[in-house]
């Protein structure tokens, strides 16, 4: 298994290699990384495959989540419940890990920029100037986490096995952020 | 749904993890305070694992396979003597269950993928409740993460 096994790049996910991925990968579970063959060295890159766009959208959403937690930390630091900043930092660190792993699955020949079509809904932060309450900051984050988790789960179809596993694991992680935030709000 | 060897292997592995968890939660519950809130959670989680094992057995049978029987006893990852040991065992069991269900997520059939992913999520949520904290990659072994 090569280091690059399982990475996605535009043009690499031909129908043939996809079938090879899907049929050959389930035996050695749950770590399934299969090399993609079929390098296209010449010519302009073809449009990104659907799963590459899915991956790019996930990367954009994770970046927005990291930024959203940075904003939330700025909002709650003054006079917040003692445990809350630590919880927010822990969750933000997990989103940063999600981002790192997602980015590691993406190779972009020619340095193409990421698709701008990715959803930015997770990045919606409260209007500057307002001073939101701790409760509203945390409940906003809970909603964003639940939405993000469901979005990963809705995208499992058509992904190569190893990427589907990563999406499912991240979806589970982000689902657990909801009770973790809730407990912080109530002072577990 | 096709009965490929990979599908069967993944379903049997998930069943085995659920059977081990069902056994383990018996130990967990026995070491938590009688009638305590934590024991009630352990009982609810134990019931969830029994139901999941039953569901997996039925899925295996539907595909023409034979569900592997549960073992009489399972080797615990570490001795359980205290309530704290029991809580550690509970989340250890959930981690193993999550790992097993990720095997279903690697299958091509979308229904099995979704089922597996829902169960990974359920296991991660139970683990969070026991641990009191979250994990970045429930069920994924560190070796499958890129550094």
- Ranking A25-39, A58-72, B41-55, B110-124 by mean pLDDT, the lowest is A25-39
Q: How far is CA A94 from CA A157, A171, B26, B29, in A?
A: 24, 12, 32, 31
Tokens of A77: 């630091």
Q: Alpha-carbon torsion A45, A50, A51, A57, what sign?
A: positive
Is there a domain that residue A150 lies in? yes
CATH number for the domain including A123?
A: 1.20.1260.10
Put simply, whether B10 touches A (Cβ < 8 Å) is yes
Is there a domain that residue A132 lies in? yes
- Alpha-carbon dihedral A160, A161, A166, A169, rounded to 10 degrees: 140
pLDDT greater than 50 at residue B3: yes
DSSP assignments along chain A, one per residue: --TTTT-B-TTT--HHHHHHHHHHSSSS-S-----------SSSPPPPPHHHHHHHHHHHHHHHHHHHHHHHHHHHTTT--TTHHHHHHHHHHHHHHHHHHHHHTB--GGGPPPPTTS--GGG--PPTT----HHHHHHHHHHHHHHHHHHHHHT-TTS-HHHHHHHHHHHHHHHHHHHHHHHHHHT-
pLDDT, position A3 = 43
CB contact under 8 A, B123 and A91: no
Name the more confident of B71 and A78. Answer: B71
Length of chain A: 188
pLDDT, position A78 = 64
pLDDT, position B92 = 97
Residue B57 exposure: Cα atoms within 13 Å on the Cβ side: 13
| Angstrom distance (rounded) from CA A49 to CA A40 | 14
pLDDT, position A36 = 42
The residue segments making up the domain with residue A147 are 49-186
Q: Which residue ranges make up each domain of chain B?
A: 5-133
Put simply, whether B137 touches A (Cβ < 8 Å) is yes
Is there a domain that residue A23 lies in? no
Is there a domain that residue A145 lies in? yes
What does the pLDDT average to over B27-31? 97
In chain A, which residue's Cα lies nearest the Cα of B121?
A: A172
Is there a domain that residue A19 lies in? no
pLDDT, position A134 = 87
* Burial class, A171, CB count within 10 angstroms (exposed 0-12 / middle 13-18 / buried 19+): buried
| Angstrom distance (rounded) from CA A153 to CA B121 | 10
Give the position of tokens 């940063």: A96
CB contact under 8 A, B123 and A172: yes
Return the residue in A1, A6, A169 with the most chain B beta carbons within 10 A, the one to mutate for interface testing.
A169
3-state SS string for B104-132: HHCCCCHHHHHHHHHHHHHHHHHHHHHHC
CB contact under 8 A, A172 and B114: no
Is there a domain that residue A97 lies in? yes
* Burial class, A145, CB count within 10 angstroms (exposed 0-12 / middle 13-18 / buried 19+): buried
pLDDT, position B1 = 57
pTM: 0.81
Give φ, ψ of A28 to 5 degrees. -95, 80
Name the more confident of B135 and A34. Answer: B135
CB contact under 8 A, B144 and A162: yes
Question: A128, A104, A120, A110: which is closest to A57 by C-alpha?
Answer: A120
Q: Which residues are registered as beta bridge partners of B80?
A: none
Give φ, ψ of A122 to 5 degrees. -70, -15
CATH number of B5-133: 1.20.1260.10
Domain count, chain A: 1
Low-confidence stretches of chain A (pLDDT < 50) are 1-6, 10-40, 111, 113, 115-126
């Amino acid at each position: 298994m090569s280091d690059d096994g399982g990475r996605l790049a535009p043009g690499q996910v031909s129908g043939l290699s996809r079938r090879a991925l899907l049929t050959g990968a389930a035996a050695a579970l749950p770590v399934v990384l299969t090399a993609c063959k079929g390098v296209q060295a010449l010519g302009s890159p073809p449009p990104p495959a659907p799963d590459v766009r899915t991956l790019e959208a996930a990367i954009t959403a994770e970046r927005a989540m990291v930024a959203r937690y940075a904003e939330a930390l700025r909002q709650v630091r003054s006079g917040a419940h003692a445990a809350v900043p630590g919880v927010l930092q822990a969750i933000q660190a997990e989103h940063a890990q999600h981002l790192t792993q997602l980015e590691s699955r993406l190779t972009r020949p020619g340095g193409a920029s990421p698709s701008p079509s990715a959803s930015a809904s997770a990045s919606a932060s409260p209007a500057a100037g307002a001073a939101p309450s701790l409760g509203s900051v945390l409940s906003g984050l809970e909603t964003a986490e639940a939405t993000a988790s469901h979005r990963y789960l809705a995208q499992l179809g058509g992904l190569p096995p190893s990427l589907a596993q990563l999406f499912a694991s991240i979806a589970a992680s982000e689902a657990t952020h909801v009770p973790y935030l809730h407990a912080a709000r109530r002072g577990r | 749904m096709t009965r490929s060897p990979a599908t069967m292997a993944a379903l049997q592995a998930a069943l085995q993890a659920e059977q081990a968890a069902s056994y383990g939660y018996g130990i967990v519950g026995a070491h938590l305070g009688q009638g305590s809130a934590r024991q009630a959670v352990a009982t609810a989680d134990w019931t969830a694992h029994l139901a999941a094992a039953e569901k997996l057995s039925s899925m295996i049978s539907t595909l023409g396979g034979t569900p592997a029987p549960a073992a009489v006893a399972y080797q615990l990852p570490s001795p359980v003597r205290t309530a704290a040991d029991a809580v550690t065992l509970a989340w250890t069991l959930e981690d193993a269950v999550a790992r097993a269900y990720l095997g279903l997520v690697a299958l091509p059939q979308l229904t099995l993928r979704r089922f597996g992913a829902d169960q990974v999520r359920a296991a991660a949520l139970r683990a969070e409740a026991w641990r009191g904290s979250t994990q970045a990659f429930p069920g994924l072994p560190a070796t499958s993460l890129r550094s």
